[in-house]
Chains A and B, each alone.
Chain A
Amino acid sequence: MGKHNITMTINGESVSAEVDSRLLLVHFIRENLDLTGTHIGCDTSNCGACTIMLDGKSVKSCTYLAVRADGAEITTIEGVAAEGTNSHLQQAFHDQHGLHCGFCTPGMIIRSMDLLKNNPNPTEEEIRWGISGNLCRCTGYNNIVKSVQQAATEMAKEKEASV
């Protein structure tokens, strides 16, 4: 049933494909585009491993139809920084040991990008609520919170320097 031609921008590149009505966005990203940095954890919109940026907002791609993303601008973890470089958040997760196994990290970083865009200087509590839809079974979250704090500080410094 239902085939649809869709076009979207993923990590700056235009992508077109024919998809089934029922194809989930996360499957499109991982299997059609081979961008396997976006993970499938719970597959029920609880864990946040599949979080991507869709038109500037963090979205759980396991609970989004690929066909609905027609015309959208999407960023996955592969697109958050130029090849061979780290974004402030990526660097901070590295510096602060914000990961152990790393399965939740792409979702954590994308979610934190949305959080810091809307709230560049969040309190610890705001960070914890802000990532409440992203589960980590390794770290106990403390180092993830520190990572987001470091990134916020670095981003503020960069902004100040550019003024």
Chain B
Amino acid sequence: MIPANFNYHKATSLKEAIALSSELGEEAKYMSGGHSLLPMMKLRFATPEHIIDISKIEGLSYIKEDGDMLKIGALTTQTEMEHNTLLKEKYPMMGDAIWLTADPSVRNVGTIGGNIAHGDAANDQPALMLAMRATVVAEGADGTKSIPIDEFFHGFYMTALEPSDILTEIQIPKAKKNSGGAYHKVERKVGDYATAGVAVHVELDDNGICQQVGIGLTNVSAVPMRLERGEEVLRGQKITDELIEQVGQIASEDCEPESDLRGSEAYKRSIVNTITKRMLNKALERARQ
């Protein structure tokens, strides 16, 4: 399979990329790792007239804690994240997810920025970003903007990014004492998109009361989904087995899966219930360590 004709442009700086995009208009698409966009182009689901390659822009690949934020440069590959000591030690949810995302050769090229900017509810990172309450930083023709993750995903492959905007950085509140997260997805085979996936992040106080909680769902709705009703049940409470049971039930009720090759709607609701409970328990276990 060969993509439809297009014109390739390599950008060596953000400024150059944004200027190119502004000049070429809406038929230009940015490409970072290209492992979501190029397969779509090969299948002719996407036929952009211009590709602006942003993968060679320097200075957008990093993982660091800065002030009260964890900051990840958009061009950081999933492999770089997988082997990063800081993420392994303090943000184990990332490892849970990356391990299950595609395969090592794809992760060598695929970037975190692309995984999120693609706006696909089947990708794994969006659910993690919802759970950890990330902020997306983007730069475009009208300057730099910070977009809270809850305002980022607008629809199927639709995000808050304007055509000339480039996602440059992910900011995540730094891991606090007594906090923990976990992610799991059920997949038909290794490396597949999720049949369903759940990301959970919890923050407890010294008495074990839940101060903050985030629950994000993968591939059970058109837009990456926050389980708001479930979070409300847990916030301010000591999380008991009964509450976990209740939130699992809520997750199965509130998710919006469609029957497809990966399973029936009923099956997906059932596994969302199970994974939500397991991830709540795993996140709590990590928070209490």
- Which B residue sits closest to A67, measured CB to CB? B8
Question: Quick check: which of A10-18, A41-49, A80-88, A151-159 contacts chain B, the rest being far away?
Answer: A41-49
- Which B residue sits closest to A22, measured CB to CB? B3
Contacts of A43 in B (CB 8 A): 1, 42
User: Interface residue tally of chain A, by bracket?
Assistant: 20 to 34
B6 and A2 contacting across the interface, CB-CB below 8 Å? yes
Mask for A22-64, Cβ within 8 A of B = 1, else 0? 1010010000000000000001111010010000011110011
Instruction: Please report the C-alpha to C-alpha distance between residue A115 and residue B108 in the assembled complex, in whole angstroms.
Output: 11
Contacts of A20 in B (CB 8 A): 5
Instruction: Please report the C-alpha to C-alpha distance between residue A57 and residue B79 in the assembled complex, in whole angstroms.
Output: 10
A97 at the interface (CB under 8 A from B): no
B191 and A63 contacting across the interface, CB-CB below 8 Å? no
- Which B residue sits closest to A50, measured CB to CB? B105
Instruction: Please report the C-alpha to C-alpha distance between residue A70 and residue B55 in the assembled complex, in whole angstroms.
Output: 12
B51 at the interface (CB under 8 A from A): yes
B240 at the interface (CB under 8 A from A): no
Q: Min CB distance, B31 to chain A, in Å? A: 8
Q: Min CB distance, B111 to chain A, in Å? A: 13
Q: A22-B3, A68-B53 are in contact. Are A111 and B105 (CB under 8 A)?
A: yes
Q: A2-B8, A22-B2, A45-B35 are in contact. Are A130 and B104 (CB under 8 A)?
A: yes
Instruction: Please report the C-alpha to C-alpha distance between residue A43 and residue B39 in the assembled complex, in whole angstroms.
Output: 9
Taking A44-B42, A46-B191, A118-B83 as known contacts, 9 extra A-B pairs with beta carbons closer than 8 A to each other, sorted by chain A number, are A2-B7, A20-B5, A22-B5, A24-B2, A43-B1, A45-B39, A63-B35, A68-B34, A132-B190
- Chain B interface (Cβ < 8 Å from any Cβ of A): 1-8, 10, 34-35, 38-39, 42, 51, 53, 55, 79, 83, 99, 102-106, 108-109, 190-191
